[in-house]
Amino acid sequence: MDMLNARYWIKENMTWYYTLEATFYYSLLLGAFFDVRRSDFWQLIFHHVVTLGLLSASWAINFVRVGTLVLVSHDIADVFLEGGKLVRYAGKHKMLTNVCFVLFMSSWILTRLTYYPLIVIRSAFFDAADLIQPDYQIFNPLQVPYVPRLIIIMLVALFLLHIFWTYIIGKIVVRTIQEGEAADVRSDSEDEAEEQEVRRKRLTKTKQQTKKED
């Protein structure tokens, strides 16, 4: 195999990795419409669509190294997230739930808030151009190909979602300190309905008390 073909050759294990990840995110995207809708439902949908777009675009132009780094930086934190959910749903391991949450939060900060923007996104902005063509200017929107710029836009979009979910994680930290156990602070549609009903009853009670005083 000559050097030119070796540069663009994709190994079989990489093909399987992309295939499995794409299948996984398609299942998440479709399954989200049948699952309990949390307050960040549309952010999740957007995340899955962007991730699938990144997988497709990076595969189409053979930017699999960027795609692989994105997947790995996401998968690490997800392991601790899903593990923590399993422990919490068991309902008998409060301390282990908190340990899983600490591991998740630490991996989230290291991978999605540090490694992802400082290594992956920075490399896409400043290093990827040399791999496309010698005279390629990533900041020239009129120069072809356009797909690398689309990939960068999607990378930044994912990072903005990371910031949004970091805010939610911060709220979980506050609740954990107050209540002693990590819990999901995102409300679902039933929770919102119950909260609205409680507020309505409180408002009605307040009005009745005000009328009695008058």
Residues 153 and 205 in one domain: no
Range of the domain at 205: 189-214
Is the model more confident about 196 or about 95? Answer: 95
Tell whether 162 and 201 lie within a shared domain: no
134 and 35 in a single domain? The answer is yes
Domains contained in the chain, number: 2
Query: Whole-model pTM?
Result: 0.78
Mean pLDDT for the stretch of residues 167-183: 76
pLDDT of residue 186: 53
Q: Which region among 9-18, 20-29, 55-64, 148-157 has the lowest average model confidence (pLDDT)? A: 9-18
Do 202 and 142 share a structural domain? no
b/e map of 143-173 (b: 16 or more CB within 10 Å)? beeeebeebbebbebbbebbeebeebbeebe
Q: With 0-12 CB in 10 A as exposed, 13-18 as middle and 19+ as buried, what is 139?
A: exposed
102 or 133, higher pLDDT: 102
